[in-house]
Amino acid sequence: MGIIGLDTSGSGIGIPETMRERALAANALLHSREGAGSDFLGWVHLPSSIGDLELAAIGASAARLRAAAEVIVCVGIGGSYLGTRAVLEALSDPFRLLHRTQEGPVMVFAGQNLSEDYACELLDALEERSFAVIVISKSGTTTEPAIAFRVLKAALERRYGREGAAARIAAVTDRERGALRTLADEEGYPTFVIPDDVGGRFSVLTPVGLLPLAAAGVDIAALVRGARDMERATAPDVPFDRNPAAVYAAVRNLLYEQGRKIEILGSYEPKLQYVSEWWKQLYGESEGKEGKGIFPASVTYTADLHSMGQYIQQGERTLFETIVSVDEPQRRLTLGAEAKDLDGLNFLAGRRLSDIGRMAELGVRIAHLDGDVPNLRIVLERIDAYHVGALLYFFEKACGISGYLLGVNPFDQPGVEDYKRNMFALLGKPGYEEASEAIRARL
Ligand code: PA5
């Protein structure tokens, strides 16, 4: 297997020569920058273009924040949030908050909702802790993170004064444009730039993801190394069968053409739940347009076998499943035997939990195949920074290829603007007077 494995044997799809050629052509188009959305293809070569100096600058800023705070609040939404959260959750102990001693600061998130309760409870929690803030917004004007940052900045300034607050803030935003850029320059916050040619959902390997991840203690060099190796493994000169991104993109498009309109990304590892959330944005925003696109859904097994399992097994046959399967857990736990077998589990005594989980996974796969759910498997050797970096780039590359195969521009998101216009009109934002009248007439 390569850096990650891809098993399409359960998809029921034979890939015709024409599709192989189309997928390779789509990949070449990404590299030649001659396809739709070509102004937003900076992510294609990001892993190989991040230099040691850039990583060191990010590391230094992250170290400063780590030294200043017990809690780092990471503020952002969508592409300026999900990648960081995906990597952090994948690589973290889910019970870290219960540990008596913390190694470095805890990272929490804000700016990804407009909940008043969430904001108040966060402020309450920060009362007892020293904290720092990383604020991330490419446009610098997105409402949710801007509001959260205003609230957190005020809390920091009350506690540490204006200068003390500035020493505990870092901003990631556009080189020149946007309110966050103006604010950061005015207040003297250290800033990192999101390249113009990288869209939000493809930005996890820019400072958008790398700064907060370094601040949370993630080995970002290993993350980038994994992505870099995957960049090579999916380069345009790699033959179709050896390029997992091209194969995945081809198979999912062939399934879509056969009426499989929903793809469920699943895993048996709860740590990967936010990778699924990130993936949903990546594929949903990239492909869902012009009345087309596979609807991306997600499940975490075995929990969701007890909620979604029935539908997947016997509901409408318009879905297929892609399982991210992990070969080796990091830890080891073997089930013990008991003198009296009251719970009836002695037949499992001596077996590792991962071994029992593998049987569950296999059993589900066979059941779903019997239930006419085409199945793809992406195999990760283990969950570490290197393999997660490779997985992220794999999904990005496959998404670009897949969007071109579908015949859409995978790098814009015109539909996301519609709700914003209505919300601004309803809130009375200057410049939205006309829209405000129109929308009020409909209420
Ligand atoms: O992918 C996208 O472009 C969006 O999800 C954005 O990342 C999200 O809306 C946040 O935008 P910004 O970083 O400009 O605040």
Could you tell me the distance, in angstroms and rounded to a whole number, from the CA of residue 374 to the centre of ligand 1? 32
Calculate Rg over the CA atoms of the chain.
23
Q: How far is CA 178 from the centre of its chain?
A: 24
Ligand 1 atom nearest to 173, measured from its CA = 13
CA angle 188/189/193 to nearest 5° reads 120
Query: Tokens at residue 255, please?
Result: 């399934």
Same structural domain, 72 and 196 = yes
Same structural domain, 127 and 171 = yes
Q: Whose CA is nearest to atom 3 of ligand 1?
A: 200
CATH number at residue 132: 3.40.50.10490
Q: Cβ(297)–Cβ(262) under 8 Å?
A: yes
The average confidence (pLDDT) of the chain is 96
Distance of alpha carbon 300 from alpha carbon 304, whole angstroms: 6
Distance of alpha carbon 213 from alpha carbon 219, whole angstroms: 8
Q: Cβ(139)–Cβ(80) under 8 Å?
A: no
Percentage of the chain lying above the pLDDT 70 cut: 100
Check whether 15 has a pLDDT greater than 90.
yes
Check whether 102 has a pLDDT greater than 80.
no
How many residues are there in the chain? 443
Same structural domain, 73 and 18 = no
Q: Cβ(245)–Cβ(234) under 8 Å?
A: yes
Same structural domain, 207 and 340 = no
Same structural domain, 273 and 188 = no
Is 137 a pocket residue for ligand 1 (Cβ < 6 Å)? Answer: yes
Q: Whose CA is nearest to atom 9 of ligand 1?
A: 78
Q: Cβ(111)–Cβ(77) under 8 Å?
A: yes
Percentage of the chain lying above the pLDDT 90 cut: 91
295-300/262-267 β-pairing: parallel
Write down the pTM of the prediction. 0.96
By most ligand atoms within 8 Å of CB, the mutation choice from 74, 81, 142, 277 for ligand 1 is: 142
Helices 220-233, 207-215: crossing angle, 10 deg rounding? 140
Same structural domain, 128 and 216 = yes
Query: Which of 172, 207, 223 is the last residue before a domain boundary?
Result: 223
Q: Considering the domain boundaries, does residue 443 fall inside one?
A: no
Same structural domain, 320 and 243 = yes
Q: Considering the domain boundaries, does residue 439 fall inside one?
A: no
Confidence category of residue 10, pLDDT binned at 50, 70, 90: very high
Same structural domain, 245 and 285 = yes
Q: Considering the domain boundaries, does residue 56 fall inside one?
A: yes
Is 207 a pocket residue for ligand 1 (Cβ < 6 Å)? Answer: no
Confidence category of residue 276, pLDDT binned at 50, 70, 90: very high
Is 142 a pocket residue for ligand 1 (Cβ < 6 Å)? Answer: yes
Distance of alpha carbon 253 from alpha carbon 255, whole angstroms: 5
Q: Considering the domain boundaries, does residue 165 fall inside one?
A: yes
Query: Which of 223, 241, 274 is the last residue before a domain boundary?
Result: 223
Query: Which of 223, 253, 269 is the last residue before a domain boundary?
Result: 223
Q: What is the pLDDT of residue 270?
A: 97
Ligand 1 atom nearest to 202, measured from its CA = 1
Q: Considering the domain boundaries, does residue 326 fall inside one?
A: yes
Instruction: Give residues with Cβ within 8 angstroms of 436, minimum separation 6.
Output: 425, 426, 428
Q: What is the pLDDT of residue 437?
A: 81
Q: Whose CA is nearest to atom 8 of ligand 1?
A: 78
Is 78 a pocket residue for ligand 1 (Cβ < 6 Å)? Answer: yes
Q: What does the pLDDT average to over 293-303?
A: 98
Q: Cβ(163)–Cβ(103) under 8 Å?
A: no
Instruction: Give residues with Cβ within 8 angstroms of 349, minimum separation 6.
Output: 335, 336, 337, 338
Is 289 a pocket residue for ligand 1 (Cβ < 6 Å)? Answer: no
Same structural domain, 92 and 167 = yes
Q: What does the pLDDT average to over 286-308?
A: 97
Distance of alpha carbon 142 from alpha carbon 113, whole angstroms: 11
Q: Domain containing 370: what range? A: 4-37+226-406
Ligand 1 atom nearest to 78, measured from its CA = 5
CA angle 237/241/247 to nearest 5° reads 100
Q: What is the pLDDT of residue 361?
A: 97
Q: Which DSSP helix (H) or strand (E) runs through 441?
A: helix 433-441
Distance of alpha carbon 285 from alpha carbon 413, whole angstroms: 6
> CB-based burial of residue 3 (10 Å sphere; 0-12 exposed, 13-18 middle, 19+ buried)?
buried
Distance of alpha carbon 268 from alpha carbon 365, whole angstroms: 12
Q: Considering the domain boundaries, does residue 399 fall inside one?
A: yes
Query: Residue 112 in 3-state DSSP?
Result: coil
Same structural domain, 363 and 321 = yes
Q: What is the pLDDT of residue 323?
A: 98
Confidence category of residue 104, pLDDT binned at 50, 70, 90: confident
Same structural domain, 60 and 163 = yes
Q: Considering the domain boundaries, does residue 440 fall inside one?
A: no
Q: Cβ(27)–Cβ(41) under 8 Å?
A: no
Q: What is the pLDDT of residue 364?
A: 97
Q: In what order do the strands lie in the sheet with 71-75?
A: 106-110, 71-75, 131-137, 169-173, 191-193
Same structural domain, 32 and 72 = no
Q: Which residues are catalytic?
A: 285, 306, 420
Tens-place pLDDT, residues 351-401: 999 999 999 999 999 999 999 999 999 999 999 999 999 999 999 999 999
Distance of alpha carbon 223 from alpha carbon 55, whole angstroms: 11
Helices 82-91, 273-287: crossing angle, 10 deg rounding? 150
Nearest to 297, CA basis, from 273, 315, 333: 273
Q: What is the pLDDT of residue 442?
A: 82
Q: What is the pLDDT of residue 43?
A: 98
Q: Considering the domain boundaries, does residue 428 fall inside one?
A: no
Please count the other Cβ atoms lying within 10 Å of the Cβ belonging to residue 417: 9
* Residue found under tokens 């601004």: 424
Half-sphere exposure of 193 (CA within 13 A, CB side): 9
Tens-place pLDDT, residues 184-220: 999 999 999 999 999 999 999 999 999 999 999 999 9
- Split into its structural domains, the chain has a count of 2
